């Protein structure tokens, strides 16, 4: 199938980044969010980043102009009916995503592919919510989407071969490396990554070393470009907590239990870079 018009639900950091990637690849994008302020901010952010790419010589000026003209925004959920594909990029909560996919099942065009940017939630549950499981697939971008080359493509047992093939082809068009993974909690990347982050938090909690030194150990000893605690701050400690809590629930295994220190920090609003303080100070 041909995918020319893509709707993105969610005007946050990831949503904005995915919109930029789509626009740079010559696609028409409709960005939806219930918050007009978020839409205005996201549009400005995308425009600024595209112009920065042009100023650095990485994007042709004509391509930049076409990309900016190809972006529309809307608060109206019904407008998503015109899209060939919808990408959901809302917070990592299954109840919220199920609500979105239930609405998409009633609103999206019958042949539209419905993709979720979830980093590890159940794609099959979203397919059931939409009542068109063959059209539902996971398309997990990594942060920041314009920079990170990887996209995990997640198919449930019900995802059809044409849907899967179309999404793999789209990822290639976007210049991404698409890796197919099973519909298992955390998929591949986050199932490995977030338990490691949690263990680093436990090491800090138990006084093994300072936050800076824990990160230096992984940077210098394992060639990580960013230490696990700084990475958690970048991702957001609230997002990190949500992911680990979902692992614990779905696997029914205490090895995924979030460290008490992480829960304490989220409860007091220390969420990492976005709040100005996490394991490190960004004020």
Catalytic residue check, 190: yes
Catalytic residue check, 62: no
As a whole number of angstroms, the distance between CA 44 and CA 42 comes to 5
| Cα angle value 34/21/48 (rounded, 5°) | 75
Q: Which of 28, 43, 117, 140 is catalytic?
A: 140
Catalytic residue check, 119: yes
Beta-sheet pairing, 150-155 with 177-182:
parallel
- Residues contacting 148, CB < 8 A, separation 6+: 141, 142
Catalytic residue check, 253: no
Quickly count: other Cβ atoms within 10 Å of residue 46's Cβ: 27
Q: Which of 152, 156, 183, 246 is catalytic?
A: 152
Q: Which of 28, 43, 116, 119 is catalytic?
A: 119
Q: Which of 16, 43, 183, 190 is catalytic?
A: 190
- Residues contacting 268, CB < 8 A, separation 6+: none
Residue burial 256-267, b: 16+ Cβ < 10 Å; e: rest: bebbebbeebbe
Which positions are catalytic?
A: 119, 140, 152, 190
């Amino acid at each position: 199938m041909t995918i020319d018009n893509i709707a993105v639900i969610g005007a946050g950091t990831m949503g904005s980044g995915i919109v930029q990637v789509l626009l740079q690849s010559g696609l028409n994008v409709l960005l939806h969010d219930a918050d007009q302020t978020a839409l205005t901010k996201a549009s400005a952010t995308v425009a600024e980043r595209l112009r920065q790419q042009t100023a650095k010589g990485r994007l042709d000026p004509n391509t930049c102009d076409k990309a900016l003209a190809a972006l529309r925004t809307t608060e109206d959920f019904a407008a998503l009916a015109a899209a060939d594909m919808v990408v959901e990029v809302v917070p990592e909560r299954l109840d919220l995503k199920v609500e979105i996919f239930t609405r998409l099942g009633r609103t999206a065009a019958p042949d539209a592919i419905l993709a979720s940017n979830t980093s590890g939630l159940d794609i099959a549950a979203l397919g059931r919510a939409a009542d068109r499981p063959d059209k539902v697939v996971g398309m997990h971008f990594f942060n920041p989407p314009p920079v990170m080359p990887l996209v995990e493509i997640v198919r449930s047992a019900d995802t059809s071969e044409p849907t899967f093939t179309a999404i793999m082809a789209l990822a290639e068009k976007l210049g991404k490396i698409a890796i197919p993974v099973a519909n298992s909690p955390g998929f591949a990347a986050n199932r490995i990554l977030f338990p490691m982050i949690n263990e680093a938090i436990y090491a800090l909690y138990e006084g093994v070393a300072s936050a800076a030194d824990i990160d230096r150990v992984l940077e210098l000893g394992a060639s990580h470009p960013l230490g696990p605690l700084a990475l958690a701050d970048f991702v957001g400690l609230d997002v990190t907590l949500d992911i680990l809590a979902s692992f614990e629930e779905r696997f029914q295994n205490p090895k995924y239990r979030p460290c008490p220190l992480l829960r304490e920090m989220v409860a007091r609003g220390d969420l990492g870079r976005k709040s100005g303080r996490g394991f490190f100070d960004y004020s």
